[in-house]
């Protein structure tokens, strides 16, 4: 891979829908190198006016729920309707596994061959904060390249779902019939993020059970809902394999957008997401810096021991940490928050 990035060339390429330039511009936003971060910011600033014009859909579900199969089937359908579809992934474990979305490109075999689809696996070698940041920025790039549906896929475990919910307009959760994880999911708060739920694999012998699960989930979702007059989260069934129920799921996604627009406003919703993104980036940077220098780490170690042994009070130690940190602030480099 060449080391140098020509921002002007990348911007032209992205605007012109050139896939190689788009892929390369995403590689640039995935880089943590300070000089690359500077270039990435410059590129994103210049492309800001061209992004935002897409339906941003989050998709999650436990491994094997059928996310890739679903994305393939839905994506092809949307392309037939004239859309251009980008698929991104947030999978912090992919640095270990090697990237599941890339790994199962075969499951998106049809979509990956379309000129109107762009599939990008989760970046590797970054922790969740870095993956989330890179994916957000990649979303802006694919939008600037003219993709008007962006599907951000994530596995149904842990914090990555919260990160994805914070960057999309509509959050779709794929479930399995009788997987026994429905109520657990609710407890974990995963379903609280959902705007649309679909019980997948509603085919063959499984169809009846999927319908029962959907009904049970629908009842359970009413309990999750905190206000009586809140929008009811639709719980549908579909089969990604047989391509049934997909139009209904997509319609529910569009209905949610209409609801969002009417009640809150899409622009305001995205604005609020940006505000919390601003804070999470700022806070993460401060926290990183707090532990970022050798002097701070050594002081932290000493303070921990002193507090632990009762020699110093927690409050005094905290004041000391802050005093030394504050003295370092003017010389810190904040350019690289993750």
Ligand X SMILES: Nc1nc2c(ncn2[C@@H]2O[C@H](COP(=O)(O)OP(=O)(O)OP(=O)(O)O)[C@@H](O)[C@H]2O)c(=O)[nH]1
Residues within the interface to Mg ion (CB under 5 A): 67-68, 104
Q: Which of 32, 36, 46, 104 binds ligand X (CB under 6 A)?
A: 104
The least CB distance from residue 185 to ligand X, in Å, is 15
- The answer to the question of residue 68 lying near ligand X (CB under 6 A) is yes
Instruction: Kindly state the number of chain residues that form the binding site for ligand X, as judged by CB under 6 A.
Output: 18
| Binding partner of residue 240 among ligand X, Mg ion, none, CB cut-off 5 to 8 Å per kind | ligand X
Which region, left, alpha or beta, applies to residue 140 given φ > 0 means left and ψ of -120 to 50 means alpha?
alpha
How many residues make up the chain in this entry? Answer: 338
- Tokens 């596995």 belong to 155
> Is the CB of 28 or the CB of 198 nearer to ligand X?
198
Q: Which of 246, 76, 227, 54 is nearest to 136 (CA)?
A: 54
The least CB distance from residue 238 to Mg ion, in Å, is 16
Tokens of 263: 């009640």
Name the segment binding ligand X (CB under 6 A); options: 20-28, 66-74, 142-150, 276-284. 66-74
Give the CA distances from residue 5 to residues 8, 10, 43, 121, in Å, rounded to whole numbers and listed in that order. 9, 8, 10, 21
- The answer to the question of residue 69 lying near ligand X (CB under 6 A) is yes
CA distance 122 to 153: 9
| Binding partner of residue 56 among ligand X, Mg ion, none, CB cut-off 5 to 8 Å per kind | none
> Is the CB of 106 or the CB of 309 nearer to ligand X?
106
At residue 74, φ and ψ (nearest 5 deg) are -65, -45
Q: Which of 7, 128, 193, 241 binds ligand X (CB under 6 A)?
A: 241
| Binding partner of residue 82 among ligand X, Mg ion, none, CB cut-off 5 to 8 Å per kind | none
95 contact partners, CB below 8 Å, separation of at least 6: 124, 125, 126
> Is the CB of 160 or the CB of 200 nearer to ligand X?
200
Contact code string over 34-63 relative to ligand X, x by CB under 6 A: ---------------------------x-x
Residue 14: other Cβ atoms inside 10 A: 28
| Binding partner of residue 330 among ligand X, Mg ion, none, CB cut-off 5 to 8 Å per kind | none
- The answer to the question of residue 240 lying near ligand X (CB under 6 A) is yes
> Is the CB of 200 or the CB of 312 nearer to ligand X?
200
Tokens of 156: 């149904």
CA dihedral 126, 129, 134, 137 (to 10 degrees): -170
Contact 249, 238 (CB under 8 A): yes
The least CB distance from residue 260 to ligand X, in Å, is 26
CA distance 41 to 51: 14
Give the CA distances from residue 62 to residues 102, 178, 255, in Å, rounded to whole numbers and listed in that order. 17, 13, 25
> Is the CB of 65 or the CB of 194 nearer to ligand X?
65
- Tokens 């910011």 belong to 41
Q: Which of 46, 181, 203, 288 binds ligand X (CB under 6 A)?
A: 203
Q: Is the sign of the CA dihedral 57, 12, 82, 108 positive or negative?
A: negative
Contact 250, 74 (CB under 8 A): yes
- The answer to the question of residue 107 lying near ligand X (CB under 6 A) is yes
> Is the CB of 140 or the CB of 238 nearer to Mg ion?
238
The least CB distance from residue 300 to ligand X, in Å, is 38
- Sites of contact with ligand X (CB under 6 A): 61, 63-69, 100, 104, 107, 155, 200-201, 203, 239-241
């Amino acid at each position: 891979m060449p080391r140098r990035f020509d921002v002007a060339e990348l911007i032209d390429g992205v605007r012109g829908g050139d896939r190689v330039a788009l892929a390369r511009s995403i590689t640039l936003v995935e880089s943590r190198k300070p000089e690359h971060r500077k270039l990435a910011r410059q590129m994103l600033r210049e492309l800001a006016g061209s992004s935002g014009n897409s339906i941003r859909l989050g998709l999650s579900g436990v491994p094997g729920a059928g996310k890739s199969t679903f994305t393939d089937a839905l994506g092809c359908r949307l392309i037939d309707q004239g859309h251009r579809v980008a698929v991104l992934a947030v999978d912090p474990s992919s640095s270990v596994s090697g990237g599941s979305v890339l790994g199962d490109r075969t499951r998106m075999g049809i979509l990956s061959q379309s000129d109107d689809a762009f599939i990008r696996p989760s970046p590797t070698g970054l922790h969740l904060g870095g993956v989330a940041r890179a994916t957000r920025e990649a979303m802006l790039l694919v939008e600037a390249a003219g993709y008007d549906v962006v599907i951000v896929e994530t596995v149904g475990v842990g914090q990555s779902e919260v990160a994805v919910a914070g960057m999309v307009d509509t959050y779709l959760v794929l479930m399995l019939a009788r997987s026994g994880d429905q109520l657990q999911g609710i407890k974990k708060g995963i379903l609280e993020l959902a705007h649309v739920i679909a019980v997948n694999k509603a085919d063959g012998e499984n169809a009846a059970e999927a319908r029962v699960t959907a009904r049970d989930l629908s009842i359970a979702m009413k309990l999750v809902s905190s206000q009586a007059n809140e929008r009811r989260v639709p719980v549908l069934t579909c089969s990604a394999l047989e391509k049934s129920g997909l139009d209904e799921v997509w319609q529910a996604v569009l209905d949610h957008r209409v609801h969002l627009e009417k009640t809150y406003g899409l622009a305001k919703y995205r604005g609020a997401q940006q505000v919390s993104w601003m804070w999470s980036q700022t806070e993460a940077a401060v926290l990183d810096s707090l532990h970022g220098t050798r002097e701070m780490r050594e002081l932290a170690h000493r303070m921990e021991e002193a507090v632990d042994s009762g020699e110093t009070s927690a409050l005094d130690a905290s004041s000391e940490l802050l005093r030394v940190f504050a003295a370092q602030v003017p010389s810190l480099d904040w350019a690289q928050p993750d």
